[in-house]
Amino acid sequence: MHIHDKVVSTILRNRISSVEVADAQAKTGVQAELHPINAGHYAVGKVHYVYTHSESNWPLHKQIEEAQEGSILYVDALDCGDRAVLGDIVAKYLFVYKRIEALVINGHVRDAHRLRKENYPIWIKGVTPLGCFNRDVELTPQIESMVSQRQTLLDGSIFVCDDSGCTMIEKNKINDDTLRKLEFIELQEDIWYFCTDTLKWSTYETICLKKYLDQKDVLPEKLVARLREFDL
C-alpha cells in the first residue's frame, strides 16, 4: 500500500480527529478560521485544489468540471472579500454528480438554508447572501503567483475535517514518521482516558506527570505492549 493510502487508512480506521492530527504534528497544520456548516461530519482524504479570484466565480465553474471523485475539494477564494464563492447549485453538482467526499472553502458561501437542509459535509469561513460576480476575469501575475504557491502547498495533501475544523498533513510530511506519530497519539489518548476514567487519576497526574510511565503495572497488558513498541 502506498504511504499516502496507509496514512489515510490509519486515520480513518482509528477515527483520528483533526485535534489529534494537529497534536501529532507538534500543533501545526490547522487551517485557521475554517469551521463546519453542518455538525457531525468526519472527512479524510486527498485534496484537489481549485481556486477563484477577483470577486468572480467564473474560474471556479470552469475548474470544477475536473473535480476528482472521492477527493476533498479545496476552493481557494483569492481577492474575493466577503463575497460567497458558491451556493446550493454548485454544492449539489459537486456532491451528487462529481461525487466528492467533502468541500473545504477558504471563503464564504450562500444559500445556507439549503446547504444545511441537505446536510453536506462543508467547511467554510462564513455565510453571506452576497455572491461573487459571474464574469470572466483576467489572471493577474500577482494572483497567478499566489495560486502557484498555494497549489504547491495544498494539492495532494491530506485533510482531516470534523467538528473542530480542518487539519492538513503537507505532502512532505506524508511519510512513515508521521504515520508513527499518529499511531502514538492514538495510543496516548487511549492511555489517558483509561487513567482518568478507570483509575480516576487527575488530568494533572495523567497528562502532566504521566505517572503511567513509572507505574506501567496499573495499565492493561495490551496498552503496555503497545507502549513498548515506542520504547516507553
**Per-residue pLDDT tens over the stretch 143-191:** 999 999 999 999 999 999 999 999 999 999 999 999 999 999 999 999 9
Residue 231 pLDDT: 76
Q: Cα(165)–Cα(33) distance, rounded to whole angstroms? A: 8
185 annotated as a binding-site residue:
no
110 annotated as a binding-site residue:
yes
Using alpha carbons, list the distances in angstroms from residue 136 to 57, 109, 139: 8, 20, 10
Residue range of the domain that includes 190: 176-228
Same domain membership, residue 60 and residue 135: yes
Q: What is the mean pLDDT of residues 19-35?
A: 97
Strand residue runs (E) in 54-181: 72-78, 84-86, 102-106, 108-109, 122-124, 126-127, 158-162, 165-169
pTM for the predicted model, two decimal places: 0.94
Same domain membership, residue 107 and residue 28: yes
82 annotated as a binding-site residue:
no
64 annotated as a binding-site residue:
no
Same domain membership, residue 100 and residue 33: yes
pLDDT of 232 higher than 70: no
Same domain membership, residue 141 and residue 183: no
Q: Cα(74)–Cα(92) distance, rounded to whole angstroms? A: 16
Residue 110: what residue type? R
89 annotated as a binding-site residue:
yes
